[in-house]
Amino acid sequence: MTTPALELREIAREYGQGDSVLQVLKGASLTLMPGEMVALVAPSGTGKSTLLQIAGLLEKPTSGEVMLGGLEATALSDDERTALRRNDIGFVYQFHHLLPEFSARENIMLPQLIAGLPPQEAGARADEMLDYLRIGHRAEHRPAELSGGEQQRVAIARAVANAPRLLLADEPTGNLDPQTASYVFEALEALVRQSGLSALIATHNLDLAARMDRQVTLDDGQVVPRVI
């Protein structure tokens, strides 16, 4: 039986607000299988980013379990969670968050170097990713010299450079025009399909959501199938 790449089990997250408590997630559960692309489509303020932060081990739930490749991650130490996040999870955000003083190639090399890969191997992997995303000719350009679509493709390459098990994306095309968004999504989809990693992608773009394997939404703090 195939082990899910990600399982969120009865995730609750609440925040104290003075004497009151704000419940954002209320027993949210979700399973992603290897190679599956799932669109998370829900209005702002419903807990999308919180769900992604918890799935990516950047935030701890109030209760519930986060399983990554069958490993229960919520009880791990901070160092163990950091190592798991570095090796098994890739992140892409609406804004690229590339380091401005480094070239596209160097931005993709950095997470690999942090993970302990030799510079020559990290550089070769970065070149391979850039060529695959059709921006190899921009390898030595810094982020400010790249278009929005090129910046996001570099950010995607950086996110998957360490061959993670899971990719989490929060509005990865939300800052792009429709044509560029479609092209960037095609690049993202091709990488996911080729590598077999799982992807949970929060988006307001219904056209892109329709191209994924399935769609879910958040309703009263729980993950439910999105009715199309």
Q: Which region, left, alpha or beta, applies to residue 74 given φ > 0 means left and ψ of -120 to 50 means alpha?
A: alpha
pLDDT tens string 59-94: 999 999 999 988 899 888 988 998 888 889 988 887
- Does any domain span residue 52? yes
- Does any domain span residue 111? yes
What CATH number did the domain enclosing 72 receive?
A: 3.40.50.300
* Residue 39 to residue 37: CA distance in whole angstroms: 7
The number of beta carbons lying within 10 Å of the beta carbon of residue 166 is 21
pTM to 2 decimals?
0.89
> What domain range is 185 assigned to?
6-225
* Residue 215 to residue 63: CA distance in whole angstroms: 25
- Does any domain span residue 148? yes
Count the domains in the chain. Answer: 1
Does the structure show a pLDDT above 90 at 181? no
- Does any domain span residue 1? no
- Does any domain span residue 26? yes
What letter does residue 187 receive in the DSSP assignment? H
Instruction: Measure the CA dihedral 8/44/88/105, to 10°.
Output: 170
pLDDT tens string 126-160: 999 898 888 899 999 999 999 888 998 899 889 88
Three-state DSSP class for residue 82: helix
